[in-house]
A = this chain, B = another copy of it.
Amino acid sequence: MISFESDYIAGAHPEVLRKLTETNLEPLSGYGTDPYCESARRKIREAVGMEDAEVEFLVGGTQANAVVISTMLADYEGVIAAETGHISSHEAGAVEYTGHEVLLLPQKEGKILPETLRQYLRTYYADANHEHMTFPGMVYVSHPTEYGTIYTKAELTEISGICREYGIPLFLDGARLGYGLMSRETDLSLPEIARLCDVFYIGGTKVGALCGEAVVFTRGCRPRHFMTSVKRRGALLAKGRLLGVQFDALFTDDLYFRIGRHAIDMAQKLRQIFAEAEIPLYIDSPTNQQFVILENGMMQALAEQVAFSFWEAYDEAHTVVRFATSWSTTREDLDALREILQAVRGR
């Protein structure tokens, strides 16, 4: 059965796997101290255009969010996020598990509008009782968002400016960053993101790795003794090479960007196929996740031959579902989908 269920249905991109295989027998030190981790850090610093950026590897996205947020916040602080942010809704309370509150903001297509943020902070500090409330100590944005949308350079610049005005760091969850960077509609480059954010991560799990997220701290924001804090959260990998080798491969010969580009190309074709089949988009996503509205009967029929993700009920008769592309999506998958859709519609 062909699958568009997620962008993590396959193993590693072959170039990543090859590098794991080639280096498999080399004896290396653990915990991220090996030369592949060092090489990957150097290549990432180059890619983000910041010599003094500090790069740390973690295993997964929820882990990266919880570790970064809880090590950067002061005791009395919480993190601002869109109501639809991954940390707000789909991480089972991982941030709260670390003792910190997620302060929810209304959102538009998954994004925080700069004006909403500004208003929130202004109101908070105007409140005579704000010391009885959680201090806003960080802003979390996901890019691309959970709805596949992306911030424009103007939006991210304004959000970054507000953060700096209030002296709080801006954290960008880049679990799918590769797809945002390669979107045909983006005007944000990786160095610009690095310049505007205080910390962000370059997602590996959803962009061609078996696992792994590369967290980039800019402007001297890395918490002191970060490795110890990672260790005590159970997030320090003994064979750190697993992350180092993979990111070294991802940042060799632009692999990370080639993976992103391929998935975007596949997503564009996916949109054409839906358009041909007169299936409406739920949201206009310029990245690798495409949300469409399916009539329920059609959804059932389709689900027999294609894997995709249930998202949310649309109305009594329709459902929003998600199709995701990745490095492993092939033209053959798309051709097969087109045929299946024609057959299903023809019934």
Contacts and interface: CB of A to CB of B under 8 A. Distances in A.
Interface of A: 1-3, 5-6, 8-12, 14, 17, 20-21, 23-30, 59-67, 70-71, 74-76, 78, 89-94, 96-102, 104, 126-129, 131-135, 205-206, 210-211, 223-225, 227-229, 231-239, 241-242, 307, 310, 312-313, 328
The 6 closest A-B pairs by CB, nearest first: A63-B234, A11-B24, A3-B27, A93-B101, A92-B232, A76-B228
User: Taking the full assembly, how many copies of this chain does it contain?
Assistant: 4
A94 B232 contact: yes
A231 B11 contact: no
Contact of A234 (B23, B67, B101): B67
Nearest to A241: B11
Given A232-B76, A233-B234, A239-B210, A126 B313 contact: yes
Contacts of A6: 30
Nearest to A83: B104
Nearest to A99: B97
Contact of A96 (B29, B99, B210): B99
The A interface is mostly helix, strand or loop, or mixed, namely: loop
A61 B132 CA distance: 13
B60 A78 contact: no
A24 to B, nearest CB: 4
A211 B231 contact: no
B71 A233 contact: no
B91 A232 contact: yes
Q: Which of A126, A132, A223 has the most CB of B within 10 A?
A: A132
Nearest to A227: B131
A122 B194 CA distance: 40
A238 B61 contact: yes
5 contacts: A3-B27, A5-B29, A10-B24, A60-B234, A128-B310
Contacts of A102: 101
A233 B97 contact: yes
Nearest to A330: B25
A21 B30 contact: no
A24 B12 contact: yes
Nearest to A103: B93
A27 B307 contact: yes
A60 B237 contact: yes
Contact of A78 (B11, B93, B131): B93
Contacts of A133: 89-90, 92, 228
